[in-house]
Structure 1
């Protein structure tokens, strides 16, 4: 990270999803900067309220200010309300967790889900988090709407998993990833089992506004891999595709949605 802004954003990304926090030396290592530079950046984030330092361990932990800003922004996105009936229907017919991811710049971000055990659509800890493009059904579904070159560019910008991340089957090279991408493009959907997490499987399809365009989001069904084998997921595919097509129609026709698409760069050759 060569700039103060880059280091600050890098720290926020590193601390996301780490409730125990991270030590200064580890932040410096992951950012590939000297400890003094990392200390200056994280100290400013502490001063601004985005990060706090644990008084006992000395580790830096993501503060609630950033979470609050993200939730406030998500709550203003009309598509969350527009998507609720589609997610409700998918969970009701499949009996599985349904989720919606939207394009944000060069990645996908979870914005909403429907749990079978819940009666309302709600935000949860996954919301606002980036989808890991290289080893998720949603990443495969979205990137399958692009060329190999564009897909690999986005995957490698985000990075392949480290050896201690995800499962041993997760792709960690361009060749391994392209094999999965080509299969997803040929099938028209993304499917993974025991790839992102042991015991978990998912199937996803892209939300596309017009034939030949890059996807603007994804619809995903997720559950235990012991229950969601490929055959079971393929049986859910018609409902998933129908929901994606109907959701795309809503996005195209609603004037409120149009302003949201522009704000989130939907409809562009992006994310």
Structure 2
């Protein structure tokens, strides 16, 4: 799910929405594939594509007639990973946690009301799952997402919840704001969240938020396993280790003068 340009975003916002559309497909894409799903007329869409190519944000292969993400994005992504994500600060703590628990460890942040996975450590015996560093997932049905949502200020939470899709990925997915709010209240009370096969069948996790000294949500860290190998009760035993890792990450982030990590809330259109 890509971000949509708001009404007040102007030309830059519209061009970035085209960039999001290309990126969402995850492969080289032809102009004719973009047209049916674009809110812009053909001429406008083509003009945005050409501008993005000229700026190095997209690359165009004239022989195959396809567009791909540009190398300038690689440079920008590397810079963002180094300066605006928790990943560099959290690396040693994720390594220690992974070695201690032997299960998959995720580090995530909120991005436009969604979950952005910024780092991952695989289990000793890897489990196939959706989440990978750089991927975006839903906040309402993932452990890391719910752990972060539960600790957002009320006004910010309202905006984030209004942007959730509530698509029923599995039989366990929470599919409404009222149901989710009740779950978030319980998560905030106990301090950790679960994913009870809510996003992917057979995949469960326990997650805790990473909070600044002021209680601001910086991100979340989770331990994930397969129902074939473990259960929620077994994962919950790792909560003390999770909390210790989250506290250490928050402390290092604060010492590093980590930039404001509050999620950006975008207005819905259409």
Deviation at 1:54, TM superposition (A): 5.8
SS at match of 1:66: helix
Which of 15, 34, 39 is the equivalent residue of 1:8?
Answer: 15
3-state SS, counterpart of residue 221 of structure 1: strand
| Pair 1:19–1:248, CA change in 2 (3 A) | closer
Cα deviation for residue 179 of structure 1 reads 3.8
Query: CA deviation digits over 1:95-149, x for unaligned, max 9?
Result: 112122245676653332223459xxxxxx9334445322211111011112454
Deviation at 1:78, TM superposition (A): 8.8
Provide the rounded CA distance (Å) in 1 between the counterparts of 2:185 and 2:107. 23
More helix by share: 1
Partners of 2:102 and 2:124 within 8 A in 1: no
2:116 to 92, 102, 109: 109
Change (3 A) 1:170 1:20: farther
Counterpart in 2 of 1:121? none
How high is the TM-score relative to the length of structure 1?
0.76
Q: How much has 1:57 moved relative to structure 2?
A: 6.8
Q: What RMSD, in angstroms, separates the aligned Cα atoms of the two structures?
A: 3.3
What's the CA shift string for 1:20-46, capped at 9, x where partnerless?
A: 345546545545333332222122212
Change (3 A) 1:184 1:35: farther
The residue number in structure 2 matching 1:265 is 260
1:234 corresponds, among 233, 236, 245, to 236
Contact 1:106 / 1:154 at 8 angstroms: preserved in 2? yes
Equivalent position SS for 2:241: helix
CA contact (8 A) 2:86 2:118 kept: no
1:186 aligns with 2:189: yes
Aligned residue number for residue 146 of structure 1: 152
Gaps of 5+ in 1: 119-124
| Structure 2 gap segments, 5+ residues each | 126-130, 266-270
Q: Distance in 1 between matches of 2:263 and 2:80?
A: 23
**Do the aligned residues in 2 keep the contact of 1:194 with 1:200 (CA within 8 Å)?**
yes
CA distance in 1, matches of 2:112, 2:66: 30
| In structure 1, C-alpha distance between the alignment counterparts of 2:230 and 2:38, rounded to whole Å | 38
Mapped contact 1:142–1:217 kept (Cα < 8 A):
yes
Any idea what SS the aligned residue of 1:32 has?
coil
1:70, distance to aligned residue in structure 2 (A):
0.3
Could you tell which deviates more after superposition, 141-150 or 25-34? 25-34
- TM value normalised by structure 2: 0.76
After superposition, the C-alpha distances for 1:187-232 in whole angstroms (9 at most, x for unaligned) are: 3212113222233222211111236x23212112223233343212
